[in-house]
Amino acid sequence: MSGAAAATAGRHWIMASLLALSDAAAAILLAADLVVVCGSVLLRFLFNAPVEWADDVARGLMVGSSFFGAASALARAENLGVAFFTDMLAARVRAVVDSVSALLITLIAGYVAFHAIKLGGLTSGQTTGSGLPLELTFHPMGIGALFMTAFALDILRTRAVADVIAGVVATGLIVGLYLAWDYLSPASDCCFCVSW
């Protein structure tokens, strides 16, 4: 087996393992969320004994399962997208648009992962209203976003280099135009600004 083939097979094995781990985490967190919510409702309804921490735990489990589920959907290309407009584009333009999309997903998922984990560290020692550690909400979000970043990088690496370069240039032009517009347009002329 050549070095390139071994690297591709190894990369494929790693992504498959990460996907299985992401699927398992999403399923376990969702099942735990279902147990907590159903148990809390039944205890409140049948015995008039509400569980004080149920809302905080259910919220954290839902956030974690959402991020791991979104990461798994991204890895399988089952994430939401508007194909109606991109299907009308020429194949070459569509390849560049797909590269821009993969690049933006990678950057945004990495940004979310970094800040969610950072926020988990900053809230260490703080508690929710029911006394549970607050960081337990942010760490699963950050880890799920890390998985999403890894899957987005894997998608980005499958794009043709020329398409990725064109995507980076197109993204840079769009950001540059936005920044120029923002810098050059006076705030008083903004139709969305309201003086109070």
Residue bearing the bigger pLDDT, 4 or 187: 187
The phi and psi torsions of 133 (rounded to 5 degrees) equal -60, 130
Percent of the chain with pLDDT over 90: 60
Q: Which residue pairs from 153-158 have beta carbons closer than 8 angstroms and sit at least 24 positions apart in sequence?
A: 153/106, 154/11, 154/15, 154/75, 155/74, 155/77, 155/102, 155/105, 156/99, 156/102, 156/103, 156/106
* C-alpha–C-alpha distance, residues 156 and 45, integer Å: 50
pLDDT for residue 185 = 84
Cβ atoms < 10 Å from Cβ of 3: 7
Residues 97-151 have pLDDT tens digits of: 888 988 999 999 999 999 999 999 999 999 888 888 988 889 999 999 999 999 9
Of the pLDDT bands very low, low, confident and very high (cuts 50, 70, 90), residue 152 is very high
The phi and psi torsions of 127 (rounded to 5 degrees) equal -125, 160
pLDDT for residue 10 = 54
Per-residue pLDDT averaged across 51-67, rounded? 92
Residues 28-38 have pLDDT tens digits of: 999 999 999 99
Least confident stretch, 10-19, 142-151, 160-169: 10-19
Coil, helix or strand at residue 188:
helix
Residue bearing the bigger pLDDT, 79 or 130: 130
In sequence order, what are the beta bridge partners of 133? 127
Instruction: List Cβ neighbours of 15 (8 Å cut-off, separation of 6 or more).
Output: 75, 150, 151, 154
Of the pLDDT bands very low, low, confident and very high (cuts 50, 70, 90), residue 73 is very high
* C-alpha–C-alpha distance, residues 139 and 116, integer Å: 7
**The dihedral sign for the CA sequence 111, 150, 76, 22:** negative
Average pLDDT in the chain: 87
Residue bearing the bigger pLDDT, 111 or 88: 111
Asked if residue 191 has pLDDT above 70, the reply is no
The phi and psi torsions of 118 (rounded to 5 degrees) equal -65, -45
At residue 103's C-alpha, the angle toward residues 92 and 91, to 5°, is 10
Asked if residue 189 has pLDDT above 70, the reply is no
